[in-house]
């Protein structure tokens, strides 16, 4: 079963790509509804090949289970140019989502066609197993909420290094 999202956000693709790799930005996507906390050391930035176990809880109070975030990056092209894909193919370890046999979450960012400075965000969550039909409606609702959070937070992801005019 799949959940698909496709929308344009108000930041450039480089800023969106940095946000996908930022544990802090990822945690902000789910807050304040869900709290994501590392079980061990959280990297400052996710890198391809990382395996990071996390604990998820509802509003920091009700434990929802543990998840392994396993990161793989790749790059491809489509008719509009460069597409960068962040894949979390980790698995739910405990809690309700652990009943799933398949968890494959891919997020792709690219320049939004005809919209300079904006990003086309595409997301696909594939789940499988006997529990998938029961869990899919809740995950679908969460992904709709997640889209709203991404849209709201994207303008804050821009990064312009401070210039030191005195060096000129």
Return the structure tokens found at 110.
């690219």
Return the structure tokens found at 23.
């544990």
Phi, psi of 162 (to 5 degrees): -70, 135
Count CB atoms within 10 A of the CB of residue 1. Answer: 15
Across 148-162, average pLDDT: 85
pTM: 0.89
Instruction: With cut-offs at 50, 70 and 90, classify the pLDDT of residue 160.
Output: low
What integer best gives the mean pLDDT of the chain? 92
Dump pLDDT digits (tens) for 105-128: 999 999 999 999 999 999 999 999
- Tell me which residue has tokens 């809880």: 57
Dump pLDDT digits (tens) for 79-98: 889 999 999 998 899 999 99
Half-sphere CA count of 36, side-chain side, radius 13 A: 17
Dump pLDDT digits (tens) for 5-26: 999 999 999 999 999 999 999 8
| % residues pLDDT > 70 (the chain) | 94
Q: Which domains does the chain have, with CATH numbers?
A: 2-157 (3.30.530.20)
d(CA 55, CA 38): 6
């Amino acid at each position: 079963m799949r959940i698909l999202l496709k929308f344009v956000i108000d930041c450039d693709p480089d800023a969106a790509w940095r946000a996908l790799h930022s544990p802090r930005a990822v945690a902000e996507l789910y807050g304040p509804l869900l709290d994501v906390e590392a079980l061990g050391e959280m990297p400052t930035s996710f890198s391809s090949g990382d395996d990071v176990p996390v604990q998820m809880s509802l509003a920091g109070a009700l434990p929802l289970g543990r998840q392994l975030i396993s990161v793989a990056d790749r790059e491809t092209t489509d008719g509009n140019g460069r597409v960068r894909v962040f894949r979390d193919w980790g698995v739910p370890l405990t809690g309700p989502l652990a009943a799933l046999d398949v968890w494959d979450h891919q997020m792709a960012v690219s320049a939004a066609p005809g919209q300079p400075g904006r990003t086309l965000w595409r997301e696909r969550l594939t789940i499988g197993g006997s529990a998938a039909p029961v869990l899919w409606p809740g995950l679908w609702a969460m992904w709709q909420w997640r889209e709203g959070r991404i849209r709201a937070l994207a303008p804050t992801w821009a990064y312009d290094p401070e210039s030191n005019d005195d060096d000129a």
